[in-house]
Structure 1
């Protein structure tokens, strides 16, 4: 059975004036969250729109980044208090001496039946199977991403050799596939739909194929910020748990926020699938599994205790 680390309430919710959190209007604490634009942002957008964050004492704004690594730098610099990180980026940061920890899930755990990301081949590449990717060029959002770790394992296990991986923002991938600048890509909603409509061939769903019901990303913060602002962290965590739980039964309402949040049409927004089982807990077994793959691939030298990568309000 997977080890699920649920962060229990150790501090009361409500308004907070911990060190490092600026006091906003109405006694709310202003926090900035770094995000990478993709469909699961709908849960956070919903928490903003419906006042869930305000209920927990927070005034939340977001800043977009092309990939998770710049978000780490922004949090270390104090420009962002929380940020979207994939599990490999979380592990890499820790192994390189930057202490960051998951505070809450993004949307729950990755659902094996609802994965909104896929490894797809370009329409004219002639690629129909993972083993065909030997010697081909595959786009991933960044070279330390969950997409690279997962795709590389599946492609290698299929017997393909010599695959080249290139970093590329998600919004650029559909056109790069259509132009033949890359042979394949690991691409997520809302951009994967554009690629598939243009004829891209789905080959696999790396994250859910390898880590069903796992934690492949989270909202994180630096250990220093968490130490100085435990009430803000608890409030953020509690708000996200409430938002994830609410979204489970109000998915259309959450997806509607993607119109303003990601610039989708109303029709495009409702066509999205939030790739979650809506379990608002961190699956530490899946983090350990991802670390093992990273060691096998030479991305890290040794594993980190998954419990050290998750914020514990008890200290």
Structure 2
């Protein structure tokens, strides 16, 4: 009888422990019962670039915390890595340029959903620069020359091709070479490249330190005000965690609105981009930060990509948008 009583008591303790554990130890269940979210911890792939300023404003000002989220930034090497880590489950949300996300979706290998429309081009944000003593003085002079872009597929070739065509220059006459943005000023100075398709803060740094001059502004004409990049999630993640992603959207909407105040952006940039000083932050060109997902605006990107052969088929951007929660 003693053994039976001990066994029953042990069984009862185990059941009680199981109940207590179920109430306090299972993270997803606990999070859902606590605030209605499927999960409260999100890993977010980010890049140390001007585009991501609203994300860091949201962290600084507690916007994610106010929505019941604990958000951990995961630094990416580039936008392509973000898509790869979304597929593997390494991150829940990732920053990506729209051309990269659209090409990945168009390939049929991955389903992506745009959670936040992050950044929009403005004039002089993506110029082509050449050294002051270069013989390149106008767009036509770029024919036959080496022009660096940050990748041979994606935003660089798209904007450069569009601007060249608008200026009456055959995009195929320009030899595009892949170069990371941070290396462009040095390669420009050494003569390894003839010109650089470049963005901030490297535009300002190359202009101030090297005297580099603008040959053509690629964020004009068909690319004037073009959506550039945003935060995306996998299709599977969007189905599994709709409330958590809606909370992320709400927090980012506040931060995107705050980022319309340039002073806020200038203050946050040096905190996560170590190469930017407060002085540089006060002088660089900064694009705009949308506060909503607009299908008509975003549709411009795949339409322009199809025109220049980056994708073969028409893509309806509505299929990539994650509905916004009010």
Q: TM-score over 0.5 for the alignment?
A: yes
Could you give the per-residue CA deviations for residues 20-77 of structure 1, whole angstroms, max 9, x where no partner exists?
Answer: x4xxxxxxx2222222322122211111111111112222222333421111001111
Match of 2:146 in 1: 137
Of structures 1 and 2, the one scoring higher in RCO (CA 8 A, sep 6+) is 1
**CA distance, structure 2, for counterparts of residue 182 and residue 60 of structure 1:** 40
SS in 2 for 1:132: helix
Match of 1:247 in 2: 259
Match of 1:11 in 2: none
Query: Are the equivalent residues in 2 in contact too, given 1:215–1:284 (CA < 8 A)?
Result: no
TM-score when normalising by structure 1:
0.84
Determine if the alignment matches structure 1 residue 211 to structure 2 residue 219: no
**CA distance, structure 2, for counterparts of residue 256 and residue 118 of structure 1:** 24
Determine if the alignment matches structure 1 residue 95 to structure 2 residue 77: no
Query: Are the equivalent residues in 1 in contact too, given 2:129–2:215 (CA < 8 A)?
Result: yes
Q: Which moved more, 1:279-288 or 1:149-158?
A: 279-288
How many residues get paired? 288
Q: 2:163 aligns with which of 127, 145, 154?
A: 154
TM-score when normalising by structure 2:
0.81
Determine if the alignment matches structure 1 residue 49 to structure 2 residue 60: yes
Could you give the per-residue CA deviations for residues 175-202 of structure 1, whole angstroms, max 9, x where no partner exists?
Answer: 1111111112221111111111212121
Give the CA deviation at 1:99: 0.7
Q: 1:194 aligns with which of 202, 205, 208?
A: 205
Q: 1:37 aligns with which of 48, 57, 82?
A: 48
Q: 1:292 aligns with which of 285, 288, 303?
A: 303
Residues 269 and 260 of structure 1: is their aligned pair in 2 closer, same or farther, counting only changes over 3 Å? same
Structure number with higher helix proportion: 2
Unaligned runs of 5+ in 1: 1-13, 22-28
SS in 1 for 2:259: helix
Residues 30 and 124 of structure 1: is their aligned pair in 2 closer, same or farther, counting only changes over 3 Å? farther
Could you give the per-residue CA deviations for residues 224-273 of structure 1, whole angstroms, max 9, x where no partner exists?
Answer: 11110001110111111100112223x21332122120012222223334
Could you give the per-residue CA deviations for residues 124-162 of structure 1, whole angstroms, max 9, x where no partner exists?
Answer: 431111111111111111122212101012223422442
Q: Cα RMSD between the aligned structures?
A: 2.2
